[in-house]
Copies of this chain bind each other. A is one copy, B any other.
Amino acid sequence: MRGFDKNDVPSVTVPRLALYLRKLRELNTRGVSRISSKDLAEMIDVNAAQIRKDLSYFGSAGTRGVGYEVEDLIEKITGWLGLDRTWNFIIIGAGLLGTALARYRGFGEQRFRLVAMFDSSATVIGARYGPEESDRVRSVRELDEFCRKESVDIAMVTVPAGEAESTVQRLAEAGVKAVLNFAPVKVHAPEGVLVRQVDLSSELMSLSFYLDKGQDER
């Protein structure tokens, strides 16, 4: 029993909680122990009522007349987002992007742990991607077996566009419940699998639209 129902939380609130959490952690390391919604709002360029409303979906988190205790709020949001445990992830596709992600320090801090990396190409299978001797790229053929043995929560997909759909299908069959897709195609999410898109070319096209718009207005 908790004071809230996750289904009542608007989908737009979730990424904002991540944003608040990051700023709160920064404030905490800077020694700030208390903050008002107004001050936090100014720092991250959102509306103060937005912050208060977002937090209110989870129940009361602050003190009237005072504000929010930074450490306490960090702990609360961490719990709400399910970040008080470790999530295991794998990377499918050991190209440049996949390798860059594999070496990215910073997932660890957030308790996201890379447990394996897969590729279909013989030229990269066996290649070392991390500090441990055992951090070697595996064949995608081992995917099913690996997922059956080890608990895999999330998969990052960095395969070429043409292989993304079948890769996600395969991951779904192996029981992976969440996918972060970096391939420049919108993949169909299989039943019960959460798919999020990280879409570079789409971002660039948006920038292009607004840049072009700016030129019109001159």
Could you list which residues of chain A lie within 8 angstroms of chain B, going by C-beta atoms? 6-7, 14-15, 17-19, 21-23, 44-45, 80-83, 85, 87, 96-97, 99-101, 103-104, 106-107, 110, 112, 153-154, 177-178, 180, 184-186, 188-189, 194, 196, 198-214, 216
Contact = CB atoms under 8 A, between A and B. Distances in A.
Contact of A45 (B106, B188, B194): B188
B14 A112 contact: no
A153 B211 contact: yes
Given A6-B216, A185-B22, A198-B200, A81 B209 contact: yes
A2 B101 CA distance: 43
Which of A100, A153, A184 has most chain B Cβ within 10 Å? A100
Contact of A103 (B14, B96, B153): B96
B201 A206 contact: no
A17 B208 CA distance: 12
B100 A207 contact: no
Given A103-B96, A214-B177, A21 B207 contact: no
A2 B82 CA distance: 49
